Chain A
């Protein structure tokens, strides 16, 4: 009996201590942050979070990392559950243009219209970014809903300097030179290019430079496709498809479809392949894999005229937004304010290789040196403008991955006709 009483008292004391300890625990704010998988960026964020927590011991950062393909899905579900405070959001793109009909608003616009993102207008840290970026990549209906952290190019190609030197090859400036260089490498058993094909999109994004070489004004391309003045199977587009087939069949190494997106930079840096078409965001991963590896970055030389190969196409990449209903608004805004501090921002840009969107930041990285000469020719790329009408077929996109060995097509004309027919099907459905 005595033992029972003692035991009961102990349990009661334990429960009471748990109850009374709660207010102390509640003083700590847990700030929930969502980012997409980009190894150098994640590595930087972990370091930044640690420093932030040291400066603010009352705030604990709980950062989740998801694949870029799933970012939109996870954003939706966690915002709906009011389970996230700070969100990684890509620069606002794919806005509906006046000539577009029967389309759906992009997800960022839906999130704002539903009142799920906080209007950041008036926050001091916004002034750290250049006005054009705030206007183009974070403003909607007069409110500022995101600060964008940098632009990236995705239409260039990394090349292995040592291999080019070893084979006495000049860096290609035209399509013919590129084809010849690839033939030289493959003839000697060195695959010409690799890509992180397991993630799907790196195969076709690697060929976006080809669209740019044929259609340098990509906003006009999208309008032309919508209004019917440009067709995916007209003679000009056929040149693109023919080159894309060569890219998919002869340039990208067999087996690239199994290479994960975050493993591809390491494969290139190992010297296993001569070139690596892809975005500037891969540069820090290449450097981290092999710090002594000598590499360069050029616009994809897809045109036969060197002057047409001077453009870099890209997008506004990662930005920060805050959940409108966050119970941790003060901590979230403090997080963004400290991140936006010029010193922290410079460290971020150095780590991830973005083209900065703060005017005071320097582009002093190796990738910065490489893209510097082309920055005056930087243009927002096709995919950032494109919105498909409802009813389009699944092939209504200029993707090199539709060709064998990654897809089913082995004839450029057949593929071009299919792509145009799938697009036309959606355009014809308007008002139908």
Chain B
């Protein structure tokens, strides 16, 4: 006779089960535990003087500095400056990339015209173009926006074109046989059909904007989070450097979660 395994035993073993679901509470606990071990190890490393605090400030000190900088006004105004730059450049990129990407995928000849060029440009690393940007636009806002735009626009165009290409042909053909001309399918069929994918593409390119804004601010700026980090480095204030980095991470996390939430709300029909 076979003896059924006791429930507790089953439950324990099922936590490490290949490609199986685990309870939500367990995932949450695991995430917290992972973070705690990481932070604890980090704190210990410094406490035991394995690494000098000037190179690696302990997490508690970084947290302290983060709060301090948030309150004393050295962080938040610069954060807002960076956020503004990122969103401005991102919106310009998206407004240009979405129509162009759709046209490139919709009309072969437009795609043939732009695709090789864009494929080339998108592999140019943004930092390599910083000198040119400064020569052209000086060290003002235009340079930063230009660099961010450069880093995202060309990537986004190709992603939009790919999103459009992925729309099943049946949707268009259905619309044609209901009396739509090809051009008339763009707004009522193509756009809604690709929108969920499109939003993901935009979310990803918004993330790149954050990479490029820091580069732009480190190289040529007197404001923004990149500037905060770079200035702190000059005085070996590693805790401030880390506080700045954490701020970027937090903004990324919050933005991403907000956009995901929006995605879920908008595309509940899926």
| Physical interaction between A and B | no
Q: Which residues of A contact B (CB under 8 A)?
A: none
